[in-house]
């Protein structure tokens, strides 16, 4: 049975039970008042898990018997036959449950199966929903719909607030000493600050290490790029970055080179092309894109500059800003031509950062305005944690690219490969 089907069945079962929701709500509310430490939060979460699962077990038993436990059904000889204790382990330690038993001994609960010793923690579900961009109110409503369980907004807030501690540890964890490629991008969000709503950029640094494993190096939220972040990266153990592939955000090259002066900064070709086509009519878009391709797929910088001359001659009257943009940023575009093909493909194959940005954008889509910086960090951090679990595929042709990196930067890599 799929999880979706199981949840639907549990919901249908719960809809016909006599669970006293006022008592559940009051119970959760009273416990929530006593939260002062992480241990208090763990105890509350464990109590909520016990309360909710036992409510579901009662609903499953009523469904199995075919009638509510408080009503005698003369057409059946099977009845509720007491309870037995069962201890399961969860994220908050051991939880003791009371499992209902029927006279025929053929009741098999679904939410806690026979032989099951570990319990999927409900706080993990809360965090999963939060990572998908749900608000506290949305999560409370979802638990009501899925399990008919009344969880308090205070509990949801406290569980998600614990994420900040994890995020701080994550942002201060040690990093590898060398990253051949780091992709950088930024997503604009709105945050309440000083009784105003201001726009800030959440900057994301995604590194590819020597073994082609992807890793988000960190996040920082600011109105502008800052070398302070890169100082923090250096303090966490990073000694060298060979190439930084960035979007068109002003200030990135200077901020990076202030800390890592040997790093080659390459403007992301995908972003350059996308920005170039922003104001091109649909009718002309394919032709313009094809001519831009002649520039960035040239073998040498000289050949690329000739292609740019041809592009400018052909399109400057219709779209004068495109060639000007490429020339203005040429110092950080031309980095591409100093590397062989395998490394070039790794540089402008931006699937990793594009995929990560897609996950983040989905998570913040429902949140038009964040109440504070921490709220934004919580959502984006959880989205990254979820996305990173799927980072199993290496960069295509990475072994070829790595061999070429070793040849070109032997002095910088000799102690690491």
What local confidence, expressed as pLDDT, does residue 114 receive?
A: 78
Q: Per-residue confidence of the chain (417 residues) as pLDDT tens digits? A: 444 444 444 444 444 333 444 554 555 555 555 555 556 656 666 676 677 677 767 777 887 887 765 555 556 778 888 888 988 876 656 788 888 988 888 888 876 777 777 665 455 666 667 766 677 777 778 777 765 666 677 767 766 676 777 788 888 899 999 999 998 888 888 998 888 999 988 888 999 999 999 999 988 887 666 678 888 889 999 999 999 988 765 677 888 889 999 999 988 888 889 889 988 999 999 999 999 999 999 999 999 999 999 999 999 999 999 999 999 989 888 998 999 988 988 887 666 777 788 888 888 887 778 888 888 888 888 888 878 877 777 777 889 999 999 999 999 999 998
> What is the b/e burial string over 263-294, where b = at least 16 CB atoms within 10 angstroms of the residue's CB?
bbbbbbbbbbbebbbeebeeeeeeebeebbee
Q: Full-prediction pTM beyond 0.95?
A: no
In angstroms, the CA 17 to CA 69 distance is: 9
The token pair that represents 86 in the structure block: 């069962």
**CA–CA separation, 363 vs 295, rounded Å?**
36
pLDDT at 314: 96
CA angle 239, 243, 247 (to 5 degrees): 120
Structure-block tokens of residue 222 = 């600011």
Tokens of 220: 């920082």
Cβ–Cβ under 8 Å, residues 252 and 271: no
Of 193, 184, 179, 130, which is closest to residue 378 (Cα–Cα)? 130
pLDDT score for 35 = 53
- Of 324, 323, 370, residue with least CA distance to 190: 370
- Burial label for 415, CB within 10 Å (0-12, 13-18, 19+), is exposed
Rounded Cα distance between 263 and 241, Å, is 6
Cα three-residue angle 158-163-169, rounded to 5 degrees: 140
| Distance in angstroms (rounded) separating the CA atoms of residues 117 and 328 | 63
d(CA 171, CA 385): 12
Helices 398-408 and 341-348: crossing angle in degrees, nearest 10, is: 120
């Amino acid at each position: 049975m799929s999880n979706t089907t199981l949840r639907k069945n549990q919901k249908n079962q719960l809809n016909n039970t006599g669970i006293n929701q006022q008592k559940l709500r009051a119970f959760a509310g009273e416990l929530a008042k006593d939260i002062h430490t992480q241990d208090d939060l763990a105890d509350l979460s464990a109590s909520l898990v016990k309360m909710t699962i036992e409510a579901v077990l009662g609903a499953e038993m009523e469904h199995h018997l075919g009638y509510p436990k408080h009503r005698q059904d003369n057409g059946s000889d099977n009845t509720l036959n007491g309870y037995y204790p069962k201890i399961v382990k969860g994220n908050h330690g051991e939880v003791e449950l009371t499992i209902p038993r029927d006279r025929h001994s053929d009741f098999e609960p679904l939410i806690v199966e026979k032989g099951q010793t570990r319990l999927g923690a409900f706080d993990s579900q809360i965090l999963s929903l939060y990572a998908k961009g749900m608000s506290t109110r949305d999560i409370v409503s979802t638990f009501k719909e899925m399990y008919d369980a009344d969880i308090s907004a205070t509990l949801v807030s406290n569980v998600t607030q614990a994420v900040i501690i994890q995020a701080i540890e994550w942002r201060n964890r040690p990093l590898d000493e060398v990253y051949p490629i780091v992709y950088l991008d930024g997503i604009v969000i709105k945050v309440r600050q000083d009784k105003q709503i201001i726009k800030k950029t959440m900057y994301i640094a995604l590194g590819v290490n020597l073994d082609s494993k992807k890793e988000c190096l960190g996040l920082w939220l600011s109105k502008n790029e800052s070398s302070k972040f890169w100082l923090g990266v250096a303090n966490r153990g990073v000694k060298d970055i060979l190439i930084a592939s960035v979007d068109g955000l002003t200030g990135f090259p200077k901020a990076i080179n202030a800390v890592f002066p040997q790093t080659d900064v390459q403007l992301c070709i995908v972003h350059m092309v996308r920005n170039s086509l922003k104001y091109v009519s649909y009718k002309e878009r394919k032709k313009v894109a094809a001519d831009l391709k002649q520039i960035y797929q040239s073998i040498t910088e000289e050949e690329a500059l000739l292609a740019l001359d041809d592009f400018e001659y052909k399109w400057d009257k219709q779209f004068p800003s495109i060639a000007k943009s490429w020339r203005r940023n040429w110092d950080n575009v031309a980095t591409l031509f100093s590397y062989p093909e395998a490394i070039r493909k790794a540089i402008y194959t931006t699937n990793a950062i594009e995929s990560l940005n897609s996950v983040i954008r989905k998570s913040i889509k429902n949140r038009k305005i964040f109440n504070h910086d921490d709220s934004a960090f919580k959502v984006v951090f959880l989205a990254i944690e979820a996305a990173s679990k799927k980072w199993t595929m290496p960069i295509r042709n990475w072994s070829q690219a790595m061999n070429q990196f070793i040849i070109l930067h032997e002095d910088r890599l000799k102690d690491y490969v």
